[in-house]
Structure 1
Amino acid sequence: MTGAPAGLTLLHTSPVHVPVFEALRDRDHPGAVLRHLVAPELLERARTRGPESVADDLLGLLADTGGPVLVTCSTLGSVAESLAPAVGSPVLRVDRPMAAEAVRAGPRIVVLATVESTLAPTGELLAEEAAGRPVAVRARVVPGAWELFEAGDTAGYLAAVARAADAVTEADVVVLAQASMADAAALVRTPLPVLSSPRLGLDAALRLHLRPARAGAHAGRRGSDRGKV
């Protein structure tokens, strides 16, 4: 990552995501420079007033990043991507590469989330990545899981997500819609593929970081080259 002093910027809405992406960097991309911005208040407002309500604040946070940005909050992802032309750098939502892989896995997709506000943006993203191919998306909120997350009960949170994934039937793939759910994939017993976003999103964002000039056009078009990151 030499020659790119600003590094890759990651925008989080919870500090718990920072060590997750640091560990992925250390394992898969040693030497990559990550810069973390944490803004939990954006998710709280987006949940109550809608994602568009945080657009101005998002633009203010991202305008000075000086390079590609990975947004790790699925609720804010669509709004953040739409700001790429104003930011002047590629902006990638962490779940876009996961969505591309999900539609390749098969048309019957079950989306699990722990906050309601994530479901609509994830469904819209899957439809974008399907690019006209028929997909049947079923979306479910894991009951009680978010309360466990907010209480700091990470083990209970992940166990609840894993139980929900194991209960899925008649599907080709299970999508864990939020980055905070990723570690539940290691706990599931279902034979179905269970996809999470952090590894795929970081891999794609670091590719953008290595070729920002070429990638800027992609990020500004939002989906015209779907499935290629």
Structure 2
Amino acid sequence: MTDLLLLHTSPVHVPVFDALRDRDHPGAVLRHLVAPELLDRARTAGSESVIPALRGLLTEAGAGAGSGPGAVLVTCSTIGAAAESLAPALGVPVLRVDRPMAAAAVRAGRRIAVLAALESTLAPTRELLAEEAGERPVSIRTHLVAGAWERFEAGDTAGYLARVAEAAGSVTGADVIVLAQASMAGAADLVTGPVPVLSSPAPGLAAGLAMRSAP
């Protein structure tokens, strides 16, 4: 099988996905591309503004070339939809990491609570959940975790995850909780409340590897 290219907007995701590969998919070949400027641009000018830069980066990385990656997995929820729109032009599958999580969420129940540390993530996640729900009636409530992103940017991972876990533990009236950003995944293990908590890295990586083209 050919390799999987992972596009990140933060370097913190690289060891997370490598660890998941080692645990769940030994032998799989991952290539990492880190472009934090894409998130900065999307936050100031909107997610569609990054499409030209995205296409350039992925083309330069070999997406669409015969010897390039078999698929692309984009781990940033803010730019996920923009990246997926490039799949026809690139000629390889492009998957946003949170799509499998969203599909699982709408199967889990009608009342979905979305937690994000970054406001620019909320609308794309809501739209993705509505898309995955299709004709199923769902109620989507979004929550911005105050102060969490500042801790993430400061490198305080433990404090960041603790804030997210605290927010998740206070959610009521939901059938399932969605952690909208891949960086939140570690908080799922810290939540002690009764509502199931879904995160995106593990199911996203499994789906990305399954999409790889045959050599």
TM-score norm. by structure 2 comes to: 0.95
Query: Secondary structure of 2:130's partner?
Result: helix
Matches within 5 A, 1:7-86: 7-63=3-59, 64-65=62-63, 66=68, 67-86=70-89
Note if 1:103 corresponds to 2:106.
yes
Q: Does 2:146 correspond to 1:143?
A: yes
Shift of 1:131: 1.1
Long gaps (5+) in structure 1:
214-229
1: CA distance, partners of 2:202 / 2:210 = 12
Quote how far apart the aligned CAs of 1:62 are: 1.4
Secondary structure at 1:110 match in 2: strand
What are the superposed Cα offsets for residues 44-93 of structure 1, whole Å, 9 maximum, x if unpaired?
Answer: 11011100110000001112232200000000000000110011100000
Partner amino acid for 1:82? S
Helix, strand or coil at the partner of 1:46: helix
Show structure 1 runs of 4+ deviating over 4 A.
none
The residue type paired with residue 195 of structure 2 is: L
Other-structure match for 2:186: 183
Shift of 1:208: 0.5
1:197 aligns with: 200
Q: Which amino acid aligns with 1:120?
A: A
Distance 1:20 1:130 in 2: 28
Cα distance in 2, alignment partners of residues 93 and 27 from structure 1: 21
For 2:187, give the aligned amino acid: A
Give identity over the alignment, percent: 74
* From 58, 83, 92, the counterpart of 1:89: 92
Aligned-partner SS, 2:77: coil
Rounded Cα–Cα distance in structure 2 between residues aligned with 1:190 and 1:77:
29
2:160 matched to 1:160?
no
CA-based RMSD: 0.8
Looking at structure 2, the residues matched to 90 and 60 of structure 1 have their Cα atoms a distance apart, in angstroms, of 16
Deviation, 1:132, is: 1.3
Q: Deviations over 1:155-199 (max 9, x none)?
A: 000000000000000000000000000000010011111000000
Q: Aligned equivalents of 2:45 and 2:30: distance in 1?
A: 30
Aligned length, in residue pairs: 207
1:206 aligns with 2:209: yes
Q: TM-score, normalised by structure 1?
A: 0.89
Q: Within 1, Cα distance between the matches of 2:105 and 2:157?
A: 26
